[in-house]
Chain A
Amino acid sequence: MSVEPAIAMDQVDVVLSGHTILRALDFSIARGAFVGVIGPNGAGKTTLIRLILGLIHPSSGTIRVLGMPVGKGRRRIGYVPQSFAADPDLPLRAKDLVGLGLDGERWGFALPSRSRQQRIQEMLDRVGASAYANEPVGTLSGGERQRLLIAQALLTNPDILLLDEPLSNLDIRSGREIIELVDEIARERQVTVLFVAHDMNPLLAVMNEVLYLAQGRAVVGSVDDVVQPEVLSRLYGQPVDVLRVHGRILVIASDSVVPFTHFEGVAHGQPSSPSPHL
């Protein structure tokens, strides 16, 4: 039997209040792929996520998700937001937050049941969050919160996992742990992952494909095919250089030293822009 791609875009344009945010998106993403969604601020990464979730609609073109037209609140897509609002007094424990992933959209309140508890507990164990299952979410660190959001998104056993800049509030070490966790879970559950990030370097070891967004346009393919000076220059609409240093990739505009992507491998304590002679 033929398997429909996880996501298929056919000439999709998105216009929001008169501005074209995304144009001519035309690609498909295979089931089980780990895709890094990379691009500078304002490139349309969040819009792309909202498009796949069915929260905004294309002004032209068609999208199919798992072979079906997109719909709001699809339980087969797990979504991990950047963070959540919680002050230390919020009377919500880690396990309650995760439990909202099971049935948070249903009216009324959840009746306690053993199978419900068990499913939540299993998921907490899987993401390594059992130690703080009973802690108020507002007292948890960025990495701990991110684990809970991942658990929350996975409770409906989705086929696709969308993560919107999960690394943005994390230190390097917790970021690495989150990437490893998502990679492991994606393999064991055969989940297609779209992992939005500002910088592609932390994802190089785990992603099969990169979806590079700039100026509202996208290119999809392997890192070697996409992250090339000619491809990215066409995407950005201006000359771009790609430097590969010690297994890390740095994308810079040729006429300036201002990098499009943050390069965390640069010597400690230095500004993130590479020196021109590099």
Chain B
Amino acid sequence: MHGLQYIVAAGFFQSPEVQVALMVGSAVAVTSAVVGTFVVIRGQSFLGHALGDVGSTGAAGAALIGIQAIWGFLSGGLIAGVAVDVLSRRPRERDVATGVVLSSMLGLSALFIYLITQLSSSTGVTQEILFGSIFTVAPRLVWPLSVLSVLALMLIGFLYRPLLLSSVSVDAAQSRGVPVRLVSLLFLLAMITAVEQSALVVGALLSTALLIGPAATAIRFTRQLGYTLLLATVFALADTWVGILLAYNSFTWPPAGRGWPVSFFIVAIMVFLYLVSQIIPRSPSRRADKGGDSQ
């Protein structure tokens, strides 16, 4: 027990803020990892990042009218998601549409954040919107946030095969009667839920980290989607838990003794794992030697 106090600062598990942070953080980590794996497979990282950024517009708006940040994040994401979908009639237009929606929403964000700083003396709200606020999540939000996570996970479970098939070949999916457009719209909903929840934890600017990082890392170590999802979840949970622990410990650290941002720790661990995964060589081919193909 004596050694543990150097790893876990006193009062960690007793702190109500930590308890809420661990619960919310875990729910968000699992959703982000699972949804993020499909985001990486579908090559939609840019849209994922944009959804996080535009969440800041919603969250700043929410702060102005005095409602919980998460509802602002979610509405920001929904508005942007719908706008991108309406504007990108052809797949190739998607990145352009995303860029246009992203900049117009961030323009609004600039205005909202300016208004917030003029109306209140603290810069805390801006910091929370952009870089996360997991220690200040209201305990009564644990319940709705968990429900949202479960809904997003159920949606992915429901979409699983058609989503995978249409990610690999839209043509093959269409030929089998998969409603490709509906599938991608429903996936967009799951994506918005995951991104905006993780924006609450690590901030609008860093929400991509939880979405893409664990998935991109897990993909390097696995060759079956089921294992990728599992490993991405493990990475995301590890990132979040260790990040929260270090952030709690950092309350005794210089310079101010007020604690370093959780997002810094979560992203640092994530980037570390990602870099390691890029350095370690992939497992060699297990191809049987009796050649079946000429190549």
Contacts and interface: CB of A to CB of B under 8 A. Distances in A.
Interface of A: 53, 55, 72-75, 77, 79, 81-82, 84-86, 89-93, 96-97, 100, 103-110, 128-132, 134-137, 139, 141-144, 147, 149, 152, 162, 164, 173-174, 177
A104 B292 contact: no
A134 B295 CA distance: 17
A55 B157 contact: no
Contact of B288 (A72, A84, A96, A130): A130
Interface of B: 37, 41, 43, 157-162, 164-165, 167-169, 171-178, 219-220, 222-225, 227-228, 285-295
A131 B173 contact: no
B294 A106 contact: no
A96 B224 CA distance: 8
B292 A105 contact: no
Given A84-B172, A91-B222, A110-B161, A104 B293 contact: no
A152 B37 CA distance: 24
A142 B294 CA distance: 11
Contacts of A137: 168
B279 to A, nearest CB: 15
Contacts of A107: 158-162
B286 A143 contact: no
Nearest to B232: A91
A100 B166 CA distance: 10
19 contacts: A55-B174, A73-B178, A81-B169, A90-B168, A91-B37, A91-B219, A91-B224, A96-B225, A100-B161, A104-B164, A104-B165, A105-B176, A107-B162, A128-B293, A137-B168, A142-B295, A144-B295, A174-B295, A177-B294
Given A53-B175, A93-B223, A143 B294 contact: yes
A228 to B, nearest CB: 34
A147 B294 CA distance: 12
Contact of A84 (B168, B178, B224, B295): B168
- What 4 A-B pairs are tightest by C-beta distance, nearest first? A73-B177, A79-B175, A104-B165, A105-B176
A224 B286 CA distance: 48
Between A75, A84, A147, the greatest number of chain B beta carbons within 10 A of the residue's beta carbon is seen for A84
Contact of A73 (B41, B176, B289): B176
A245 to B, nearest CB: 27
B172 A91 contact: no
Contact of A97 (B157, B168, B177, B220): B168
A55 B179 CA distance: 11
Given A91-B222, A128-B292, 9 more contacts: A82-B171, A85-B169, A91-B41, A103-B161, A104-B164, A105-B161, A107-B158, A131-B291, A162-B175
